[in-house]
Amino acid sequence: MGIKKSHSVLSVFSAFTVFLMFQISGCFQEPSSKLSVKDHISANILNYSADPKSPFDRDALVFSDQGAWFGYGFPMKVEKFAGFSGPFLMTQDNGRWSSNSLSQLLLVDNKYNKEFIWYEGSYISMAFPSHLEHHFRNDRISVVQKVVFTSQNSALIESEITNVSEFDLSISPKWHGDIFPGGLKLVRGDNGLELISNKSDAVGYIIIPEFEPSNLKVDSSNYEIELEKVYLNPGQSFKFLISHSFIFPEYDSSKEINSIKIQLNNADSIFKSRELEKSTQISDLIKKKSNIYKDSSYGDLIIKCLLTLQNNWRGPAGELKYDGLFPSYHYKWFHGMWAWDSWKHAVALAKYDANLAENQIRVMYDFMDNQGFIADCIYRDTLIENHNFRNTKPPLSAWAIWKVFEQNQDTNFLRELYRKVVTQHKWWYDNRDHDNDSICEYGCTDGTLVAAKWESGMDNAVRFDNSKLLRNSDNAYSLNQESVDLNSYLYAEKLFLSNIASVIGFYNEADQFNIESRSLKSKIQNQFFDNDSGWYYDTSIDGSEFVNVMGCEGWIPLWANVATDVQAERVIVNMMNASKFNTYVPLQTLSADHPKFKPDGGYWRGPTWLDQAYFGVMGMRNYGYIEEADLLSKKLILNAEGVMEKGVSIRENYNPINGEGLESKNFSWSAAHYLLLLKKK
């Protein structure tokens, strides 16, 4: 045998923010059979083909899992090497590619002294929920490579080379890699290669045990490592493993390295374990699918939703003490966590991963001050992006907490957060009720109109076009209008808090929240509903005039179960009106007959957002309009561009007239609400 089985060289790297460790091990064996994949787990639900031309190329999606802060793709141009695109590092700036392919496997046929050229043979790539896998083959050899995430910190790459010819083969393998310029450089270190960044203190390591320094060539942008020759008889295989690890300083690097040693000796079981985990999640979600979605293609949509959430999942690091989801890693300004996104993510995550759902809620409550103000958005590294304390987001956390509890019956979770939610709920009345009438307004902490609009979550909505700011107190400002959606959310929150209080034994408080909800219910029904048009509107601060803009906020009282039956019927007539909200992709943010309706990139001035559309569908269901809800649900799924198409990612929002996907790709709350639309009611 040309290559001896290698042994780990262990070092402790507690001083470094990130390290990248490669370990190579190998032994001869017969070709292994491909991992079995359950019938309902289709390949290539999302397209991870990636050929980044620069560090900041945003054209491609990347595969990640387990909360990792890095991800991979498939090479689009297969030339002289076998390897995965990337990794794409979310530890660098707001996400950047370290390399087109940092670890490239080159094989030389010693008989002809010629490198194997992969594009002269066949190449197949397959993306599964559990791992990426690609196959190279010509008339002499086949190479199967797989990458799987073993933890937040590590990924395992397995390469299996098989002699498919009738003759003995002598092969000289090499590892080669280069990095993009502008922030990263490779240097020779005490333990092999180091990856140095001038953008952050994150340091990478490439450690190659048992290889002499003379076998390593390196300059600032590339490296090459020559391995010993491999001799393969016809039909014989050689398998080896590489482990990539990115570890933040708050994690024990030596413990991770010891874990990697175990993983390298149990690679097959790791692949099978991850496959079982994903197939179990998907199987459970498919069992919960509504009977109106009978076609198997809806199962593929469930996988697409799960993958979207999976690829946006980030583990605890830096400022973030709990797991959670980015809105989209694909868009550079979304490398953080937002409050109302988090509440919505948690409701969907609870359907298959209640622990992650709980942490998605905890991560935001970790940024609540003593008065009950929760930051709008938070980030791992405030040197890259500051937390936003200028405004908060609509109060939906009690809804999320209760929905998680419905799935896992975790009363300790309710006890853990109950007092915090009560404080948050009270904060609205202390800081966003300008005229002290128990009807709240959106606002801000910094006295800027734009931040006050952001607080609604509907940044540029037409209903705020003529708004002005009112000062309540130091660091507390309100818009000069009272919003129907905000007060409907607060009404629903009172009921959820009553439920939570009852479960954990605070019966007097439960009764008090019920009393408050009844009072607020009457105010919402009387102040915000217009009998002439049959719609709920925002009003002036004194409640005397409607803000006459028919938008998606008008059906939130139906979602909250605060409307009367007659009011709900009137609202649903408008929702089903093709000239208003029953568009090609229905339940958009602004009525289609409004003069300012802008469906093609208007953001909150016309496009369809899945969160608000979901609230509309659920509002219909709450009042018994099941056929109408089913009809609009199917239109939301079938008419939005690419949603039912393999390879195409789920978008931030959609054009309601032609279905075109708009804004960010791979968007979490869209995927979350598609999952919720698909489930049994």
Q: Are 605 and 662 in contact (CB under 8 A)?
A: no
Looking at the predicted structure, is the pLDDT value of residue 149 above 70?
A: yes
Looking at the predicted structure, is the pLDDT value of residue 213 above 80?
A: no
Looking at the predicted structure, is the pLDDT value of residue 160 above 60?
A: yes
Report d(CA 486, CA 458) in Å as an integer. Answer: 12
Helix (H, G, I), strand (E, B) or coil at 149: strand
% pLDDT > 90, the chain: 75
Q: Is residue 4 a part of any domain in this protein? A: no
Q: Are 507 and 523 in contact (CB under 8 A)?
A: no
Report d(CA 208, CA 198) in Å as an integer. Answer: 24
Characterise 663 by phi-psi region: left (phi > 0), alpha (psi -120 to 50), beta (else). left
Looking at the predicted structure, is the pLDDT value of residue 233 above 70?
A: yes
Of residues 237, 615, 568, 306, the one with CA closest to residue 458? 615
Question: Could you tell me which residues come within 8 angstroms of residue 457 by beta carbon, excluding any fewer than 6 positions away?
Answer: 340, 393, 394
Residue 10's Cβ-count burial label (10 Å; 0-12, 13-18, 19+) is: middle
- Residue carrying structure tokens 């709990």: 322
Mind listing the pLDDT tens digit for each residue in 553-607? 999 999 999 999 999 999 999 999 999 999 999 999 999 999 999 999 999 999 9
pLDDT confidence bin for 209, thresholds 50/70/90? low
Mean pLDDT of 73-102: 87
Q: What is the dihedral of CA 443, 448, 449, 450, to 10 degrees?
A: -100
Q: Is residue 11 a part of any domain in this protein? A: no
Q: Is residue 18 a part of any domain in this protein? A: no
Of residues 504, 358, 363, 483, the one with CA closest to residue 433? 483
Token pair of 352 as six digits: 């298959």
Looking at the predicted structure, is the pLDDT value of residue 18 above 60?
A: no
Cis amide prior to 213 (ω within 30 degrees)? no
Q: Which residues pair with 53 in a beta bridge?
A: none
Mind listing the pLDDT tens digit for each residue in 346-387? 999 999 999 999 999 999 999 999 999 999 999 999 989 999
- Residue carrying structure tokens 């800027």: 448
Say if residue 242 is in the same domain as residue 297.
Answer: no
Count of the separate structural domains present in the chain:
2
Q: Are strands 49-50 and 70-75 parallel, antiparallel or unpaired?
A: parallel
| The last residue of a domain, from among 204, 230, 252 | 252
Looking at the predicted structure, is the pLDDT value of residue 522 above 90?
A: yes
Question: Could you tell me which residues come within 8 angstroms of residue 271 by beta carbon, excluding any fewer than 6 positions away?
Answer: 35, 130, 131, 146, 148, 158
Looking at the predicted structure, is the pLDDT value of residue 170 above 90?
A: yes
Q: How far apart are the first and last CA of the chain?
A: 61
Q: Are 480 and 540 in contact (CB under 8 A)?
A: yes
Phi, psi of 71, deg, nearest 5: -155, 170
Looking at the predicted structure, is the pLDDT value of residue 488 above 90?
A: yes
Sign of CA dihedral 611, 612, 617, 619: positive
User: What is the DSSP-derived secondary structure letter of residue 261?
Assistant: H
Q: Is residue 274 a part of any domain in this protein? A: no
Say if residue 302 is in the same domain as residue 370.
Answer: yes
Which string of b and e fits 459-498 if b means at least 16 CB within 10 Å?
A: eebbbbeebebbebeeebbbbbbbbbbbbbbbbbbbbbbb
Tally of CA atoms within 13 A in the half-sphere of 360 that contains its CB: 38
Residue type, 667: F
- Residue carrying structure tokens 């397995």: 158
Please report the pLDDT score of residue 207 as a whole number. Answer: 63
Helix (H, G, I), strand (E, B) or coil at 496: helix
Say if residue 243 is in the same domain as residue 366.
Answer: no
% pLDDT > 70, the chain: 91
pLDDT confidence bin for 200, thresholds 50/70/90? low
Mean pLDDT of 484-497: 98
Q: Residue 284: how many CB atoms within 10 A of its CB? A: 11
Say if residue 294 is in the same domain as residue 217.
Answer: no
Report d(CA 121, CA 140) in Å as an integer. Answer: 10
- Parent domain of 199: 48-252
Phi, psi of 628, deg, nearest 5: -65, -40
Please report the pLDDT score of residue 211 as a whole number. Answer: 58
Least confident interval from 100-109, 379-388, 510-519, 522-531: 100-109
| Mean pLDDT, rounded, of the chain | 90
Say if residue 237 is in the same domain as residue 288.
Answer: no
Mind listing the pLDDT tens digit for each residue in 22-56? 444 444 343 333 333 344 457 999 999 999 989 99
Rg (CA), the chain: 27
**265 vs 512, more confident:** 512
Q: Are 246 and 153 in contact (CB under 8 A)?
A: yes
Looking at the predicted structure, is the pLDDT value of residue 287 above 60?
A: yes
| The last residue of a domain, from among 234, 252, 270 | 252
Please report the pLDDT score of residue 430 as a whole number. Answer: 98
Q: Is residue 17 a part of any domain in this protein? A: no
Q: Are 549 and 466 in contact (CB under 8 A)?
A: no
Q: Is residue 316 a part of any domain in this protein? A: yes
Say if residue 309 is in the same domain as residue 436.
Answer: yes
Least confident interval from 237-251, 451-465, 468-482: 237-251
| The last residue of a domain, from among 208, 230, 252 | 252
Mind listing the pLDDT tens digit for each residue in 252-277? 877 887 787 788 778 899 999 999 99
Please report the pLDDT score of residue 249 as a whole number. Answer: 85
Sign of CA dihedral 570, 573, 579, 583: positive
Assign residue 68 the CATH number of its domain. 2.70.98.50
Sign of CA dihedral 75, 81, 83, 87: negative
For residue 473, give the H/E element and its range: strand 469-473
Say if residue 356 is in the same domain as residue 424.
Answer: yes
- The 3-class SS string of 533-556 reads CCEECCEECCCCCECCCCEHHHHH
Mean pLDDT of 620-632: 98
Please report the pLDDT score of residue 8 as a whole number. Answer: 28
Assign residue 658 the CATH number of its domain. 1.50.10.10
Phi, psi of 336, deg, nearest 5: -160, -165
Q: Are 90 and 312 in contact (CB under 8 A)?
A: no
Q: pTM of the entire structure? A: 0.93
Say if residue 226 is in the same domain as residue 293.
Answer: no
Looking at the predicted structure, is the pLDDT value of residue 417 above 70?
A: yes
Cα separations in angstroms, 366 against 148, 350, 361: 31, 20, 9
Say if residue 601 is in the same domain as residue 455.
Answer: yes
pLDDT confidence bin for 175, thresholds 50/70/90? confident
Angle of helix 297-311 versus helix 668-678 axis, rounded to 10: 150
DSSP string, 236-280: -EEEEEEEEE---TTS-HHHHHHHHHHHHT-HHHHHHHHHHHHHH
Q: Is residue 302 a part of any domain in this protein? A: yes
Say if residue 210 is in the same domain as residue 298.
Answer: no
Mean pLDDT of 404-432: 98
Please report the pLDDT score of residue 6 as a whole number. Answer: 32
Q: Is residue 40 a part of any domain in this protein? A: no
Q: Are 84 and 132 in contact (CB under 8 A)?
A: yes
Say if residue 200 is in the same domain as residue 301.
Answer: no
Q: Are 400 and 346 in contact (CB under 8 A)?
A: yes
Residue type, 602: G
Say if residue 229 is in the same domain as residue 325.
Answer: no
Looking at the predicted structure, is the pLDDT value of residue 88 above 70?
A: yes
Please report the pLDDT score of residue 476 as a whole number. Answer: 98
- Residue carrying structure tokens 């996907």: 661
Report d(CA 196, CA 633) in Å as an integer. Answer: 50
Task: Please tell me which of 73-82, 198-207, 430-439 the model is most confident about, judged by mean pLDDT.
Answer: 430-439
